[in-house]
Amino acid sequence: MIDNLIQRLQVFTDRLDQGSKCTYNILKSIQHGDWDAVEFDTINRARILNIIATDQAYIEKVINNLIDEEVTPSNINLIKSWAFDTQAWIDKTAYLDDKIIDALNNSKDEITKDLAGLFKSKQAFRGYNLNDVTR
């Protein structure tokens, strides 16, 4: 049972790394205005987060079902390390999510200004009948 747990913890850690990569890619794509990449990485990240949640529930179930012989100081340290690493990942991801939200809000404000400028330009030409211009 403990070997299965160790293997699951390794896979779980790899998934956390994949989630971090998607989060960084989202932030970078927003900064470059690559909205297709933002959408792609957001969808991938959502899938990875669902897998992480499922894996975490399974790992917690396995931990709760460990028999006394398998609960050694080494295994306890392994579980504590996993819990610490998971919490650190959650904290880092929450921080990056705040940066993503700020970047999205900044992009929204820039797009709103651009649209307002276009609308103002369109309004300035309204009333001119360019078909009546003599040559």
Q: How confident is the model at residue 133 (pLDDT cuts 50, 70, 90)?
A: low
Query: What pLDDT, on the 0 to 100 scale, is given for residue 123?
Result: 66
Query: What pLDDT, on the 0 to 100 scale, is given for residue 128?
Result: 62
pTM: 0.76
pLDDT averaged over the chain? Answer: 89
Percent of the chain at pLDDT above 70?
A: 89
In the chain, the N- to C-terminal Cα span, in Å, equals: 89
DSSP 32-85: HT-HHHHHHHHHHHHHHHHHHHHHHHHHHHHHHT--GGG--HHHHHHHHHHHHH
Q: How far apart are CA 23 and CA 13, in angstroms?
A: 15
Query: What pLDDT, on the 0 to 100 scale, is given for residue 129?
Result: 62
Q: How far apart are CA 132 and CA 135, in angstroms?
A: 9
Residue 131, pLDDT above cutoff 80: no
Where exactly are the structural domains of the chain?
2-127
The average pLDDT across 4-19 equals: 94
Query: What pLDDT, on the 0 to 100 scale, is given for residue 67?
Result: 79
Q: Using alpha carbons, select from 88, 10, 15 the residue that is nearest to residue 45.
A: 15
Query: What pLDDT, on the 0 to 100 scale, is given for residue 111?
Result: 87
Q: Tens of pLDDT along 38-82?
A: 999 999 999 999 999 999 999 999 888 887 777 888 888 999 999
Residue 101, pLDDT above cutoff 60: yes
Q: What are the CA-CA distances from residue 52 to residues 9, 25, 30, 33, 103 (Å)?
A: 11, 18, 24, 28, 25
Residue 22 in contact with residue 48, Cβ under 8 Å? yes
> Quick one: angle between helices 2-32 and 35-64, nearest 10?
160
Contacts of 98 (CB under 8 A, 6+ apart): none
